[in-house]
Structure 1
Amino acid sequence: MAFNYAATYQNNKIQTASKGELTLILYDAGVKFVNMAILALEKDDMEGANKNIKKAEDVITEFRSTLDHKYPVANDFDLVYDYMYRRLIEANIKKDKEILEAVLVDFKEMRDVWKQVMKQAR
């Protein structure tokens, strides 16, 4: 039985991460899954595209479940996440690469803003 060092490292990284770092990990996962879905579509791998779009949807579901609605900005984030989620569903139904590319831009922009927030918080 081979020992998977990468999986162990990733698991430890997640277990020791701060809330801010976990948010960044989630954004990175969203970027990764949308990229993988785009690549799958380019290879006519509809099952792979579906699987990765569903994973990106799960990332958004996680974001939405952690919003603290006692802060007004949570409603703004919820609207953005809802939009991204609906676009992912549409991309999956239509197997539309352009929609996925637009959602990818959204994920990257939100991740980059979050990185700036984390820098300023230090």
Structure 2
Amino acid sequence: MAMNNPYATYQNNSVNTSTPGELTLMLYNGCLKFIEQAKRALADGKIEEKNTAIQKAQAIISELMLTLDTKVPVAANMLILYEFANSRLIDGNIKNDAALFDEASTIIMEFRDTWKQVIQINRQKQYANGNTL
């Protein structure tokens, strides 16, 4: 009989009970985590691990691109920045250049920080209107 992993259970529950906004925040954080893993692997000379981590970060960026609402005018600008961040990851992976990973990370961090603010503002509005989650 296999024992349940409490951390995996927590992760599963947090994903299943999160709002779409919180899920997007998780994607940004995951992308940043994988970029950092890639940088560490590169520094340690673990090229295969670096490649795997960057591919995971790229998959997250692709998901973010696919979920953009193209009816919203700002989405076009976001798409351009996502594409640029993705290209920095590709180039950094090919050239083994952590500075290019940093460029992508900076863009994703800006999105993440802005998204955090949006979530906080929405929560404040919900509580001000007497709504609870």
TM-score computed with the length of structure 1 as normaliser: 0.96
- 3-state DSSP of counterpart to 1:34: helix
Q: Distance in 2 between matches of 1:83 and 1:108?
A: 14
Which residues of structure 1 form unaligned runs of 5+?
Answer: none
Say if 2:83 is the partner of 1:82: yes
How far is the alpha carbon of 1:2 from its aligned partner? 3.2
Q: Tell me the amino acid that sits aligned with residue 74 of structure 2.
A: V
Q: Sequence identity of aligned pairs in percent?
A: 41
Q: CA RMSD in A?
A: 0.9
Number of equivalences: 122
Q: Return the structure number with greater relative CO, CA threshold 8 A, min gap 6.
A: 1
Match of 1:60 in 2: 61
Q: Distance in 2 between matches of 1:91 and 1:119?
A: 33
How far is the alpha carbon of 1:3 from its aligned partner? 1.9
Q: Deviations over 1:45-66 (max 9, x none)?
A: 0000000000000000000110
Of 99-108 and 29-38, more deviation after overlay is shown by: 99-108
How far is the alpha carbon of 1:15 from its aligned partner? 1.1
Which residues of structure 2 form unaligned runs of 5+?
Answer: 124-133
Between Structure 1 and Structure 2, whose CA radius of gyration is higher? Answer: 2
Q: Distance in 2 between matches of 1:2 and 1:47?
A: 31
How far is the alpha carbon of 1:104 from its aligned partner? 1.5
Question: How do residues 33-112 of structure 1 correspond to structure 2 at under 5 angstroms?
Answer: 33-112=34-113
